[in-house]
Amino acid sequence: MDLYGAGCCNNSNERSSKKLHVLMFPWLARGHLSTYAQLANRLADRGINVSFLTTPLNVPKMEPLFIMANRNSPGKVQVVELPLPAVEGFPPGIECTADTPAHLWPLLLRAVHLLEEPFESLLRRLAPDVVVFDLVQYWTPRVATKLGIPTVFFLIFGAAYSSYQLSPPNAEYGEEITAEDLMVPPPGYPSSTISWRPFEAQFTFKIFHTRDDTDGMRGIDRLVKCIDGCEAIAIKSCYEFEGKFIEYFQQVTGKPVIPVGPLLQSNAGPLDSECLKWLGRQAASSVVYACFGTECFLSNEEIREVALGLEASGHPFILVLRFAGHRDSSTSLPEAFEGRIRDRGLVLTDWAPQKEILSHPSTGAFLTHCGWSSLTEGMSVGLPLIALPMQWDQGLNARLIVNELKVGVEVARRGDGAASREDICRAVRAVMAPEDGEEGKDVRQRASQMGDMFRRTILNGESKGSEERYIDKFVQHLLALATDKGGHGCH
């Protein structure tokens, strides 16, 4: 079976792609912005010019990510401003979800909804060949179609989650849907071991019932409009570990679903950071790295349970915590905690060089919230994963890596979703002390095999690994869309 279509881009395609102009329009969340940036750089490597659309305050954060591409690639990435319209009650200076308090989210969505007309004016001026857009800006295909420009809906989530959540049997539910309905995989879904837990279904339930004051739409309505309006769906995944879910997603949506590979972070952090120096003093494979992403802020109770669970495990650890707004981190950790763990633990409350920590020989496991990017980063270096999913897609991602891929263990939870220090400690010990049980031994072995597969098959730079071929195939799709759309052609 040819996983990538009819081979790689040949020289003719590579030459013609130099004239292609793609506009990329990510959602205002750090994980979305960074993933779209990774894809933009890979397109620039193939001679494609990219207009990267974001709001003014995000421009200085994004431009450094494109310095190398603009210096060395045949294509260029230009960051283009699209200012957020003023909305009453929404303070200036907030243009990223991580900086948006929960009570202001509806106002952020309203501001983005009001971007439709300014976006159309900008699109007329830039006249790209193809628009690659994100999940909140559901009106993008409507505007682009008016101007004869094809669109690609790029999902930064995995196929197991996307095909479960967005399959027609779920997406077509009216407001009579219940949380219990969401706990049952949709018809034909290729796994019986992946489903929502009750507390996760209650969280997911909101997108089927909560209507926005601005447009009266539910979250699921916006997602369906994204799928219905686009010409193709791109997804951050690989056939190597999600093949049957990619095929199912294509089957149920009726749209081409194009994997673009894992898009692992290519920008390295500073190698002289204090945490890497600390890590270098630890024994091989002895340290648990615990991090919960850029958009997940643990409550004080959750922080205490995670911290005490790591302490009780007896293993060295790095714990990365992020706090929304001006919350005081000193009141969140258990009393005298940092003093007790000073010799074998490190707590970071700002930035951490995750790529370097995960690949360091002293790191032995990854306690993660199961954000898709974090999971693929952990799998790529062969680390066993300790799953503590928090929100959005993370519950289904956890079931994928534990029940299907078997490269991790999941922390047990109470009925309300709370995780205790005892259960966290138990999960850590399961993978860090595999001699105590067969499950941990099998998980470590499978995780190591997954890392080998990434190195040999997906990331192999010497023989052009499959990730490069996925991007080549995506470029072919972009060229075909630009050429076939009513003779629109490339600029």
- Catalytic residue set: 32, 134
Report the b/e string of 281-294 with b at 16+ CB within 10 A. ebeeebbbbbbbbb
Residue identified by tokens 């409550």 is 299
DSSP assignment of 354-384 equals HHHHHHSTTEEEEEE---HHHHHHHHHTT--
Alpha helices in 407-437 (DSSP H): 421-432
Report the b/e string of 319-354 with b at 16+ CB within 10 A. bbbbeeeeeeeeebbbeebeeebeeebbbbeeebbb
Q: Are the C-beta atoms of 443 and 434 separated by less than 8 Å?
A: yes
Structure tokens at 329: 């981190």
Q: Are the C-beta atoms of 99 and 123 separated by less than 8 Å?
A: no
Q: How many CB atoms lie within 10 A of CB 391?
A: 15
DSSP assignment of 452-485 equals HHIIIIIS-TTTT-HHHHHHHHHHHHHHHHHHHT
The phi and psi torsions of 363 (rounded to 5 degrees) equal -80, 130
Distances 311 to 2, 271, 274, 288, 289 between C-alpha atoms, Å: 48, 27, 21, 11, 13
For residues 236 and 222, give the distance between their C-alpha atoms in angstroms, rounded to a whole number: 20
Residue identified by tokens 């997602």 is 223
CA angle 277–283–285, rounded 5-degree value: 100
Q: How many CB atoms lie within 10 A of CB 63?
A: 15
Burial of residue 258 (CB within 10 Å: 0-12, 13-18, 19+) is buried
